[in-house]
Copies of this chain bind each other. A is one copy, B any other.
Amino acid sequence: MTTESNADAPAELLDRARRDYKELTARGLKLDLTRGKPAPEQLDLSEGLLSLPGDRHHAPDGTDVRNYGGLRGLPELREIFSDVLQVPADRLLAAGNSSLELMHDCLVHAFLSVLPGAETRWADQERIAFLCPVPGYDRHFALTERFGIEMIPVPMDDSGPDMDVVERLVAEDPAVKGIWCVPKYSNPNGVVYGDETIARLARMTTAAPDFRIFWDNAYAAHHLTDEPVEIADLSAACAESGNPDRPFVFGSTSKITFAGAGVGFFGSSTANVDWLTANSSKRSIGPDKVNQLRHLLFLRDAEGLRIHMERQRSLLQPKFDTVQRILEAELGGTGLAEWTTPTGGYFVTLEVGEGCAKEVVRRAAEAGIVLTPAGATHPYGDDPRDATIRIAPSFPSLEELEKAMLGLTTCVRLVGYEKRHGN
C-alpha cells in the first residue's frame, strides 16, 4: 500500500520535507499524542460528580454505601450498564476504578485458582498462550507478558481477527487459553467486530476446556458518528453454542466520567461471576459504593448515559475530524501512508512505509512531538513490518492537535521520501 506509484517522486518533495522538518524542530514544540487520555474539557462534563452524593449515603435499596460489603456493586448502577455491555445486570459486577485491574485479577485467579471448566490452575501448567489480534492494546500485552503468557499474534481484517487463523490455533493447541478482543472501535484500529466473526468466536471448538475470550468492550458507548454501532451479543451467542463460560466481558466509565475515578465492570456467566466473586471476597470487603452511588445519581439511567456520551462526542469528533483533514491534506496521494477512519473509540492507526514507523516516531520526538512507541501495538513491542503508529487525538487541545498532526505528517514525508531516495 505504501510502496506504490510515485517512487519517482522528484527530489524537491524530499527537499521540501527537509525544510519543513528543520522549521518544525526550530519551533521547540512540546506535544503529546501518546495516550488515550480524556481532555480536561471532557472531564469537565462530569464535574457534577465532585460534589455528589451530597447529603445522601443510602443506595436505592437502602444499603449504607459508606460501610463495608456489597461485593457485587450497586444493582441500580449495574442496570445502567447492562444494555451497553450486553450482560444482564444480575451477571454484571460493578467494581473498583478500572477494568484493567479486573482483567489482571481474572488472570491472577486463573493462575492461582481453578477456573470453571479447568482441570488445573494455570500456574500448574507448563505453558499458557494467548492469541493477540494485531494491532492491539499495549496494556493487554503488558499484562499477558507480566504473567509469562506466550503471545501469539493474529492478523486483523475489517471485521476483527482472522477467524481462520483463530479457529486453527485454538483447535490444535490446548495451551491457548485466551484471546484479547476490543470488539467495538478497537484499540488502535477502530475495527468493529462483524456478526460472523462474533458467531465464530462463540461456537469455535477449543482444545482448552477453560478457554476464555477477554472481551474488553472499552468503547461500547463511545460513538463518533450519528449512527451508533451495535455489535452482536457475544455472551448470548456463547450460551447458545453451549459455551456459556467462554466470555469475560469488561467495561468501565474511565472514558465516560473520570479516567482515574470511574467504575469498572465485569460480566459473564453465573459460574464465572461466582468464581470471580468468591476469589474477590478474599481480597476485599467490597468496592467503593459511594463512588458507585455518585455515578448512579449523576448518570441516572441508560438514557442519561446516552446523552452524556453525546456530549463527549461533541468534544471528540472535531479532533478526529482534524486528524483526518490533516492526514488527507498532507499525505493524501503521496503513497507514503494509509490510515483508519474510526467511527468511534479513541484512536487512529497510521500505517507508514515498511521499516519507517520507528524512524518517524524518533524524528517526531526530536521535534518535541511524543508518540506511542512504534511497536507498542504488537506483542513484545515487536511490529515485524515496523509500519504501525497509533495516534491518540483526545488529550491535546484542537490547536495543539493541529500542530502535532502537521508535525507528524512532516516526519512521515521526511522519512518516507528519504527512504525512497535511499538515504
**A→B interface (CB under 8 Å):** 35, 37-38, 40, 43, 46-47, 49-57, 64-70, 96-98, 100-101, 104-105, 108, 111-113, 123, 139, 142-143, 146-147, 254, 258-261, 279, 282-291
Contacts and interface: CB of A to CB of B under 8 A. Distances in A.
Given A142-B282, A291-B291, A66 B112 contact: no
Given A261-B290, A289-B260, A282 B146 contact: yes
Contacts of A68: 35, 37, 254, 259-260
Given A97-B288, A105-B283, A139-B282, 7 more contacts: A47-B57, A50-B52, A66-B260, A98-B285, A111-B112, A143-B282, A260-B289
A50 to B, nearest CB: 5
A276 B371 CA distance: 27
B282 A260 contact: no
Given A43-B57, A55-B50, A55-B51, A260 B98 contact: no
A108 B112 contact: yes
Given A142-B282, A285-B98, A285-B100, A261 B147 contact: no
A376 to B, nearest CB: 14
Nearest to A63: B260
A290 to B, nearest CB: 4
Most chain B CB atoms below 10 A, which of A52, A143, A258, A283:
A283
Contacts of A100: 283-285
A279 B104 CA distance: 10
A261 B289 contact: yes
Given A37-B67, A66-B260, A67-B37, A50 B96 contact: no
A57 B67 contact: no
Nearest to A283: B104
5 contacts: A50-B54, A66-B260, A97-B287, A97-B288, A112-B123
A206 B65 CA distance: 44
Contacts of A287: 97, 260
**Is the contact region of chain A dominated by helix, strand, or loop, or is it mixed?**
loop
B101 A284 contact: yes
Contact of A66 (B64, B66, B142, B261): B261
A331 to B, nearest CB: 30
A67 B260 contact: yes
Nearest to A147: B112
Contacts of A53: 50
A323 to B, nearest CB: 21
Nearest to A124: B123
A260 B70 contact: yes
A57 B260 CA distance: 12
A1 to B, nearest CB: 33
B258 A66 contact: yes
Contact of A261 (B104, B108, B254, B288): B288
Nearest to A286: B260
Given A97-B288, A100-B283, A258 B55 contact: no
A288 B288 contact: yes
Contacts of A147: 112
Contacts of A98: 284-285
A73 to B, nearest CB: 11
A132 to B, nearest CB: 15
Nearest to A264: B284
Given A101-B283, A284-B101, A285-B98, A261 B65 contact: yes
Nearest to A289: B260
A155 B337 CA distance: 71
Contacts of A51: 51-52, 54-55
Given A282-B146, A287-B97, A291-B291, A69 B123 contact: no
